[in-house]
Amino acid sequence: MTQPIRFYHRNAIREVSGASPTRTVLQYLREDARCTGTKEGCAEGDCGACTVVVGEPDGAGGVAFKAVNACVQFLPTLDGRALFTVEDLRQPDGSLHPVQQALVDCHGSQCGFCTPGFAMSMFALYEKHGHATTGCAHRTTPLREEISNALTGNLCRCTGYRPIIDAAERMFDQAPLAPVDVQALARTLDTLQRDDTFHYEHAGRQFDAPRTVEALAKLKAEKPGARILAGSTDVGLWVTKQLRDIGDIVYVGQIDAFKRVETTHEWIEMGAGVSVERAYAELVKTYPELEEMWQRFASLPIRNAGTLGGNVANGSPIGDSMPGLIALNARVVLASIDGTREMPLEDLYLAYQKKDMAEHEVVAAVRVPTRTGKRANLRFRTYKLSKRFDSDISAVCAAFAFIAEGDVIREPRIAFGGMAATPKRAARAEAALADAQWHEATAQAAMRALGEDYAPLTDMRASSGYRLETAKSLLYRFWLETRPHNPLAKSRLDVRAIELVEAK
């Protein structure tokens, strides 16, 4: 029996029935709720004109606010959550929110089409940092770098980013408002939480959101052809851009066990429902070399919604998480009604869009080794080449790792995305490095071997020749950064770091 979709929006609990399970939040807002401040630009989560903020229980009695793209989020995924749009920024007396006032004062809008999306990304940042009111004693102002990162998912064609970033700084200097009453909101959301699987259906299509791994396994066994949905950052495009009928949906975003991160002496284990943003925040504690990849993985709204498990399960040859995880010797845990099984991540991918998974299996977790024992001497780097620094798809994504035993290379691992039909290790290049001394001749031999490991395609992002030559160059950069004697600092190799040094 179908249940209504229940969520908090515009200061009230909303119940929705009779909508397609793949109706997007954006379509609901503009066509049903008549909240037309939220705009449609690209309908694929790239431009940010549709940015809204979703609030969900944080597991500690509070509410986590996240900026996401309404254009690719399906309406039933809002069940049990709160939705904030640009209409919510207007104050009861008609005055502007500090976010809006700062945009006005800094001339942060011209045509205005993108402005609501920017305002909502800024609102999420505003709530994250608090503000000086009697109800919120703490207040911090984010660094300009954090502001830029928060706005990576929002594109502006006419104003330019300087006045918008200025506004994001100045909004903390505006007359403060009482913050969102998080405790009251948490109590409201608590009344919307379900004890069992949420089941919704319309026009013969079903949407199920189980609460436990066991319930998920049972559903997948009963409906092996059902589409698993996590963050919707890729599956959403199948609907909005490819106009596909994706059939019945099993949504994993309500499974608490899938949102856990557990660190032991040997492993960092992340459930399949852990967002990309949180996953990288955890990983960089052990592997700070992933910091830039974290910043350059899509955009903040995509990282807030998308999951690491979903990126792994998707298996795209240009998925940015896989090369680094493979180089780190990560393992994937699969679950089904038969139990769980585990394998090296690289073994999951058999061919393009073909994985070593039974039809009733799902990705349950990703396990990454810690930096203990001999791995304390791990040399590791990841690199991404794309046309834009932020929010772009890789032409080449590379990851290199080995354990240094003095000047000798042990257990080398090289993985690339964008170079083959799957994320793929470079077996011949690894063989050229294994048990050799780490010097330039060794690096050059491994670079030559890459030509035997890969025969990349030419497409709109890059030619085959470009991919192969830059792959070799990235391996040489790895040598320069990790060579035993006089390794080059990041400021000598990173364009942005060089610009900062020269500016000083």
Mean pLDDT check: name the lowest of 99-103, 211-215, 241-245, 495-499: 495-499
Q: What is the mean pLDDT of residues 289-312?
A: 96
90-93 long-range contacts, Cβ below 8 Å, gap at least 24?
A: 91/177
pLDDT of residue 134: 34
Q: Share the mean pLDDT of the chain.
A: 93
Q: What is the DSSP letter of 465?
A: H
Q: What is the mean pLDDT of residues 361-374?
A: 97
**Residue 26, pLDDT above cutoff 60:** yes
Which domains, from first to last, does the chain contain? 5-87+183-256 (3.10.20.30), 92-176 (1.10.150.120), 260-492 (3.30.390.50)
Closest CA to 296 of 389, 232, 360: 389
Are 53 and 119 contacting, i.e. CB atoms less than 8 angstroms apart?
no
pLDDT of residue 500: 53
Exposed / middle / buried, residue 431 (Cβ in 10 Å: 0-12, 13-18, 19+): middle
pLDDT of residue 181: 87
**Residue 502, pLDDT above cutoff 90:** no
pLDDT per residue as tens digits for the range 380-391? 999 999 998 888
Q: pTM (2 decimals)?
A: 0.94
Cβ atoms within 10 A of the Cβ of 278, count? 18
Rounded to a whole number of angstroms, the distance between the first and last alpha carbons of the chain is 65
Rg (CA), the chain: 23
Q: How far apart are CA 49 and CA 29, in angstroms?
A: 13
Closest CA to 25 of 232, 190, 243: 232
Closest CA to 88 of 76, 77, 97: 97
pLDDT per residue as tens digits for the range 109-143? 999 999 999 999 999 999 988 743 334 445 678 89
The tokens describing 503, both together, are 């500016």
Looking at the chain, the whole-number percentage of residues with pLDDT higher than 70 is 96
245-248 long-range contacts, Cβ below 8 Å, gap at least 24?
A: 246/22, 247/205, 248/205, 248/206, 248/207, 248/208, 248/223
Q: How far apart are CA 75 and CA 15, in angstroms?
A: 11
- 503 confidence band (pLDDT: 50, 70, 90): low
pLDDT per residue as tens digits for the range 437-483? 999 999 999 999 999 999 999 999 999 999 999 999 999 999 999 99
Are 474 and 394 contacting, i.e. CB atoms less than 8 angstroms apart?
no
What's phi and psi for 122, nearest 5 deg? -70, -35
pLDDT per residue as tens digits for the range 208-232? 999 999 999 999 999 999 999 999 9
pLDDT per residue as tens digits for the range 156-188? 989 989 999 999 999 998 877 766 888 999 999
DSSP string over 133-145: BTTB-------HH
Closest CA to 454 of 444, 443, 442, 466: 466
Q: What is the DSSP letter of 263?
A: E
Are 228 and 313 contacting, i.e. CB atoms less than 8 angstroms apart?
yes
Strand-pair partners of 425: 415
Q: Give the list of residues 6+ apart from residue 206 with CB closer than 8 angstroms, or none.
A: 21, 199, 200, 226, 248, 249
The tokens describing 337, both together, are 């009604």
> Is the four-CA dihedral 141, 142, 148, 149 of positive or negative sign?
negative
pLDDT of residue 133: 37
Q: How far apart are CA 477 and CA 291, in angstroms?
A: 17
pLDDT of residue 131: 46
| ∠ Cα 213 223 210 (to 5°) | 30
What's phi and psi for 350, nearest 5 deg? -95, -40
- 238 confidence band (pLDDT: 50, 70, 90): very high
Q: What is the mean pLDDT of residues 67-87?
A: 98
pLDDT of residue 496: 63
Closest CA to 55 of 86, 82, 88: 82
Q: What is the mean pLDDT of residues 15-43?
A: 97
Cβ atoms within 10 A of the Cβ of 187, count? 11
Query: Tokens 């259906």 belong to which residue?
Result: 201
Give exposure, 145-157, as e/b (b: 16+ Cβ within 10 Å).
eebbbbbbbbbbe
pLDDT per residue as tens digits for the range 319-360? 999 999 999 999 999 999 999 999 999 999 999 989 999 999
| ∠ Cα 126 130 136 (to 5°) | 145
**Residue 501, pLDDT above cutoff 70:** no
Closest CA to 67 of 133, 135, 126, 8: 126
